[in-house]
């Protein structure tokens, strides 16, 4: 039987059931009143097809008896992420999957009753719907999609705020139920508010809020007409979503690979050759690429057969990494994440959503820190022993790390005249600090003075 629910091992917000982790297993208990309909949904041809296609998490019914809770087991997806850690393209992909599934469900006599981004996880670059209790049989006479308002609040308005107000998508961490039109209206020019798509998403909803009778109206119609109305609403939502695709623009780091003057072709080739041959040698099943930028080394790891998670703070670079991974069908999950300021645990009692480090700890066979160590040391002012300790805590065995000497022009540029603070930062000090937690297995020195190291974790 499943363990007793606590905030630390399960969820509590879904009125139909609860999700919890038992070791490496992901289990869901469905309350008796909802159990029969949930089982019927999971056994429907539509749900089974979505699971086979990988669009909905594969789920097994472990037990189901009249008057008793049903117990489900979900396939565990590696490294869960939250919407506030996604790039804009990942938001668009998650919203598109939500609409696609809703559209197909309506045609088969079901309806999506919960349309929030938290229903989605990513398996590599692929969006997967994981809240299997979010579908139910629909009222054939009702043309109303009640979850549409939630879809607007949690998907469309955050994308509006990102595109038109410049608000980061990470700010949704504090907006579990999304934005209201009134949250955005004061920050939007009046003429812009009357154009598309803001007229539909902000201006008219604000006007309609003054007429509560209109909001409470629940029409009844034929099944054919209700199906047509629902699918038309989904098409309209998809049009609004496509209008919110962010404009393409370069960020500070999104063209780093092409513009890095401190790396010549020989240096690039030597570094990539070392990383490629090392990854093939160690055969790491799961790799974390910290400071991944647009994903050059993430792709090397994925092409060597590893399942890759890629962290970076530059949203545009992460977006480009995700787009490249999706286009190539590579198992890479880019995440907007900061090694120096990791996403904290939040929610009720700070236990509802796990921290970035709790999710990462002991999950990766190899962790790569390439071209980022000097940023952590100088820009973030993290001591080298603390960085190595954190690296040891996350990696299960291997680490590939690039050492940038203090004489490097990029290191000097970050110091901004404070070189005396890093006078001790020699290669000998680097090796001495490493030796407390890792053993050096190989090293390759590049022509530009940098070096790349393979380390093995000490137990």
Q: Where are the domains of the chain?
A: 18-74, 83-243, 256-457
In CATH, which superfamily holds the domain spanning 256-457?
Vaccinia Virus protein VP39 (3.40.50.150)
Mean pLDDT of 288-315: 96
119-159: pLDDT as tens digits: 999 999 999 999 999 999 999 999 999 999 999 999 999 99
Q: Is the pLDDT of residue 420 over 90?
A: no
Q: Are 80 and 38 in contact (CB under 8 A)?
A: no
Q: Are 391 and 401 in contact (CB under 8 A)?
A: yes
The reply to whether the predicted model has a pTM over 0.75 is yes
pLDDT given at position 421: 75
Q: 423: pLDDT confidence band, cut at 50, 70 and 90? A: confident
pLDDT given at position 70: 92
Q: Starting from the edge strand earliest in sequence, which strands make up the sheet with 59-63, in order?
A: 17-22, 25-30, 70-74, 59-63
3-state SS record for 119-165: HEEEECCEEEECCHHHEEECCCCCCCCCCHHHHHHHHHHHHHHHHHH
- Give the single-character DSSP code of 375: I
Better-scored residue on pLDDT, 85 or 412: 85
């Amino acid at each position: 039987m499943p363990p007793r629910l606590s905030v630390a091992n399960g969820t509590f917000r879904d009125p139909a059931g609860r999700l919890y982790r038992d070791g490496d297993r992901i289990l869901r208990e469905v309350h008796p009143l909802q159990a029969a309909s949930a089982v019927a949904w999971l056994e429907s041809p539509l749900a089974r097809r979505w699971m086979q296609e990988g669009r909905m998490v594969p789920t097994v019914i472990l037990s189901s008896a009249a008057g008793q809770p049903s117990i489900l087991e979900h396939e565990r997806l590696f490294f869960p992420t939250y919407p506030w850690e996604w790039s804009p393209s990942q938001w668009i992909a998650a919203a598109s999957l939500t609409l696609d599934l809703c559209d197909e469900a309506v045609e088969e006599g079901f309806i999506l009753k919960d349309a929030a981004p938290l229903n989605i996880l990513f398996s590599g670059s692929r969006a997967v719907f994981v809240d299997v209790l979010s579908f139910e049989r629909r009222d054939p006479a009702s043309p109303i999609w009640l979850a549409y308002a939630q879809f607007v609040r949690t998907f469309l308005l955050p994308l509006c705020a990102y595109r038109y107000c410049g608000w980061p998508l990470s700010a949704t961490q504090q907006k579990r139920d999304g934005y209201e039109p009134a949250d955005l209206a004061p920050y939007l020019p009046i003429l812009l508010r009357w154009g598309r798509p803001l007229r539909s998403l902000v201006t008219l909803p604000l006007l309609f809020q003054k007429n509560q009778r209109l909001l409470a109206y629940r029409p009844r119609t034929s099944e054919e007409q209700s199906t047509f109305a629902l699918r038309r609403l989904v098409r309209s939502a998809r049009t609004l979503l496509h209008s919110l695709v962010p404009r393409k623009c370069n960020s500070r780091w999104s063209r780093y690979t092409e513009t890095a003057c401190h790396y010549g072709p020989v240096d690039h080739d030597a570094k990539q050759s070392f990383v490629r041959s090392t990854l093939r040698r160690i055969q790491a099943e799961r790799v974390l690429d910290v400071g991944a930028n647009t994903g050059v080394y993430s792709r090397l790891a994925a092409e060597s057969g590893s399942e890759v998670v890629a962290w970076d703070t530059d949203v545009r670079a992460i977006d480009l990494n995700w787009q490249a991974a999706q286009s190539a069908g590579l198992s890479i999950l880019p995440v907007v994440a900061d090694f120096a300021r990791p996403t904290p645990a939040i929610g009720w009692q700070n236990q509802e959503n796990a921290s970035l480090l709790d999710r990462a700890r002991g999950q990766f066979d190899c962790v790569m820190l390439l071209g980022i160590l000097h940023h952590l040391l100088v820009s973030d002012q993290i001591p080298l022993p603390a960085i190595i300790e954190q690296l040891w805590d996350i990696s299960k065995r291997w680490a590939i790390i690039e050492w940038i000497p203090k004489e490097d022009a990029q290191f000097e540029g970050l110091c901004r005249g404070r070189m005396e603070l890093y006078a001790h930062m020699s290669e000998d000090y680097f090796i001495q600090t490493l030796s407390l937690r890792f053993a050096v297995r190989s090293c390759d020195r590049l022509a530009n003075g940098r070096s790349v190291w393979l380390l093995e974790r000490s137990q």
